[in-house]
Structure 1
Amino acid sequence: MRLRSFEEGDLVLAIRRPIIMSKHMGNKFFSKWDGPYVVQEVYTNRAYKIVNENGLRIRPINDKFFERYYA
């Protein structure tokens, strides 16, 4: 397992929820990633609060559902 850490202000992509991905989407080119989001708060248990470009807050999410976004 690789350890990742993100800081406030980092851009990340979040995986779409597994329950959504388990259904057949009908298009193999449908992206499993959503974003980019900005890390707003960092918690001690590898959880992060993220916001989208409109400032809409997403509930805290674990870093295993993230990938770094490179612009």
Structure 2
Amino acid sequence: MEAVLPIEVEIPSMRVLVESKLKEAEWAKQRYEQLNLIDERRLTTLCHGQCYQQRMARTFNKKVRPCEFSPSDLVLRKVLHIASDSRGKFAYKYDGPFIVKEVFDGRAIILNDMDGNENALPVNADALKKYYP
């Protein structure tokens, strides 16, 4: 007794043809119809995937609140814990406050300390949040 793979049951092969005793013309007709339907199934799947992505993007974008920064705003900068800190989960999440000196198009921002010292490297706006004293 031989095992039949599930794929062979869905798309008949010569082995399934011999076992089921179909006529060759009938088998060829069924095979041709299935091959024609493959393109239609691919297009349906592609359309479904694109609709799903659009729905997920729309749902995500509903909750996004754009944050605009302008010069002289007070902001806090997210701390990237590169060095291990002994305080663990009680370490500070944000550093600052800082003053926004300049805002660029690509959401890059140059900050000043409260003393007026300029930070040389720009900071991404995603790592900032407004500070309200």
TM-score range, shorter chain: 0.7 to 0.9
Matches within 5 A, 1:12-51: 12-20=75-83, 23=84, 25-27=85-87, 28-51=89-112
**How far apart are residue 15 of structure 1 and its match?**
0.8
Identity, in percent, stands at 34
Name the CA distance, whole Å, in 2 between partners of 1:2 and 1:47: 18
Which TM-score applies when normalising by structure 2?
0.47
Unaligned stretches of 5+ residues in structure 1: none
**How far apart are residue 18 of structure 1 and its match?**
4.5
Decide which structure has the larger Cα Rg and report it.
Answer: 2
Please state if 1:61 is matched with 2:123: yes
Unaligned stretches of 5+ residues in structure 2: 1-63
Deviations along 1:3-58, one digit per CA (max 9) or x if unpaired, are 211000100000112534xx3x2213221211000000010111111100121212
Task: Report which structure shows greater RCO (CA 8 Å, sep ≥6).
Answer: 1
Residues matched between the structures, number = 68
Of Structure 1 and Structure 2, which has the larger fraction of its residues in strand? Answer: 1
Of Structure 1 and Structure 2, which has the larger fraction of its residues in helix? Answer: 2
Task: Specify the SS of the correspondent of 1:57.
Answer: coil
